[in-house]
Amino acid sequence: MSERLVVIGGDAAGMSAASQARRLKGPGELEIVAFERGHFSSYSACGIPYWVGGDVGTRDELIARSPEEHRERAIGLRMRTEVTEVDVPGQRVLARDLEAGTETWTGFDKLVIATGARPKRPALPGIDAPGVHGVQTLDDGQALLDSLEGTPGRRAVVVGAGYIGVEMAEALLNRGYEVTLLHRGEQPMATLDPDMGRLVHRAMDGLGITTVASAAATKILTGEDGRVRAVATDAAEYPADVVVLGMGVVPETSLARAAGLPLGAHGGLLTDLAMRVRGHENIWAGGDCVEVLDLVSGRERYVPLGTHANKHGQVIGANVGGGYATFPGVVGTAVSKVCDLEIARTGLREKDAREVGLRFVTVTVESTSRAGYYPGAAPMTVKMLAERRTGRLLGVQIVGREGAGKRVDIAAVALTAGMTVEAMTALDLGYAPPFSPVWDPVLVAARKATAAVRAAG
């Protein structure tokens, strides 16, 4: 007897789940119906800044698999169709065809919720004015590009200095804009400790990006034509021909909330290790709409990243398809770049560690990406947190140039394995002058952290 799998959301998590389930079960065993409210399926939202910035030539390059390609694999993907209600006891979803305006109920045996995230969009006066853009979807990216083409002005204001904010600052800089980055905190990149954020701030200054701290936007000012002309804070006005909102995202879980499914402190769906929604045998959830377990702190966190979404999809698909897989959690790894500046982090920041009651030491070291005498050796700063007494690695933050960012993977694996910083000092990492100093910067930090743990007692 054939079962029906319904998938809500046609991007990374949902379509990975559908594809993996299809690999395990043919159309005779499992019917798959997927609903996507937008115009595109399975695309790389993380690539949008590079498309806007001109590094990626066309929108289509960001699309991993088109709706037609999914359909060829016997996945019934319905585009521009929004699920408006999930009837959990009745095992059915109500979907509205956004073109035709019609609504239909579809029953399911198994359900995957992959509704993603929506950008934070504060209710500021003028926020809906032409020239103010989010960059969450391909449609958003296209609208921004159209807006840039339609305006002769070259002043851009980016609101928010997280990953999206700094990546969009780079994109606009690459397009020849004069970029001002407004952020509310003490330093940009609040995913780093402030001391490391300061390095990012300085480097962005060097790149010609004007970064303004403690600057909460209070109002979007418009011109006579109704288009944005400036962003106001309590302290000043920043002239803008275009404004990009990069204030982060929140889980898109309004459907799940209405259906009575369990949500966590961050508003994301709560699942078990198999990505099954807690308390619901036949409902899975993954991607930017769920919370994930942070393996270092033991707390649920909200980490909307395409790489997790893809893993969730694989795990869900395996389980839905009759196999077995789990997603054990994250350690909080992220990497980003602004021009040639590379920024990376994994594990806990100082405030994260304090929040869960951990006592720790921190060390910061300066080193280089290659042997000091080798051409292209670039400075990098590595900060490391280790637990007092046990010496367990708690987190690493890296700010540097070429070759700095992906070194965070060393720490990500060490965190997953629960290594101490002393054990890390003996790690057999790849060494040759074009790749590393004879002591890799991560090892230098581990040595210093080992000494700090001993000294702290």
Catalogue the active-site residues: 46
Per-position x/- string for 42-81, each x denoting binding to a copy of itself as judged by CB under 8 A, each - no binding: --x-xx--x----xx----xx-------------------
Task: Tell me, rounded to whole angstroms, the distance of Cα 356 from its chain centroid.
Answer: 23
Quick check: 307 binds a copy of itself (CB under 8 A)? yes
Rg (CA), the chain: 23
Pairing verdict, β 178-182 and 210-212: parallel
217-222 vs 283-285, strand pairing mode: unpaired
Q: Give whichever of 330 and 353 is closer to a copy of itself, judged by the CB atom.
A: 330
Could you tell me the smallest distance in angstroms from the CB atom of residue 148 to a copy of itself?
Answer: 20
Burial of 73 (0-12, 13-18, 19+ CB in 10 A): middle
Q: Does 161 bind a copy of itself (CB under 8 A)?
A: no
Q: Which is nearer to a copy of itself, 319 or 346 (CB)?
A: 346
One residue of 41, 81, 147, 346 binding a copy of itself per CB under 8 A = 346
- Determine which residue in the list 405, 420, 421, 449 makes contact with a copy of itself, applying CB under 8 A: 405
- Give the integer Cα–Cα distance in Å for 329 and 345: 16
Under the binding rule (CB under 8 A), the answer on residue 371 touching a copy of itself is yes
CA 314, distance to chain mean position in Å, is: 18
Terminal alpha carbon distance of the chain: 64
Scored b (16 or more CB within 10 A) or e, 26-57 reads eeeebbbbbbbbbebbbbbbbbbbbbbbeebe
Stretch that binds a copy of itself, among 80-88, 122-130, 180-188, 333-341 (CB under 8 A): 333-341
| Order of strands across the sheet that contains 132-133 | 132-133, 242-245, 155-159, 178-182, 210-212
Number of other CB atoms surrounding residue 439 within 10 Å = 16
Minimum separation from the CB atom of position 310 to a copy of itself (A): 5
DSSP letters, 127-193, are TTSTTEE--SSHHHHHHHHHHHHT----EEEEE--SHHHHHHHHHHHHTT-EEEEE-SSSSS-TTS-
Kindly indicate which of the ranges 32-40, 102-110, 182-190, 331-339 contains the residues binding a copy of itself, using the contact rule CB under 8 A. Answer: 331-339
The reply to whether 434 sits near a copy of itself by the rule CB under 8 A is: yes
Q: Which of 144, 412, 421, 452 binds a copy of itself (CB under 8 A)?
A: 412
Nearer to a copy of itself, 124 or 396 (CB): 396
Part of the chain binding a copy of itself (CB under 8 A), chosen from 96-104, 207-215, 246-254, 328-336: 328-336
Cβ nearer to a copy of itself, comparing 232 with 295 = 295
Looking only at Cα atoms, what is the longest distance across the chain? 70
106 close to 83: Cβ distance less than 8 angstroms: no
- The count of chain residues that interact with a copy of itself, using the rule CB under 8 A, is 64
Among 25, 65, 401, 407, which residue sits at the site for a copy of itself (rule: CB under 8 A)? 407
Residues that bind a copy of itself (CB under 8 A): 12, 44, 46-47, 50, 55-56, 61-62, 163, 305-308, 310-311, 314, 326-328, 330-337, 344, 346, 371, 373-375, 403, 405-410, 412-414, 416-417, 419, 423, 425-436, 438-440, 447
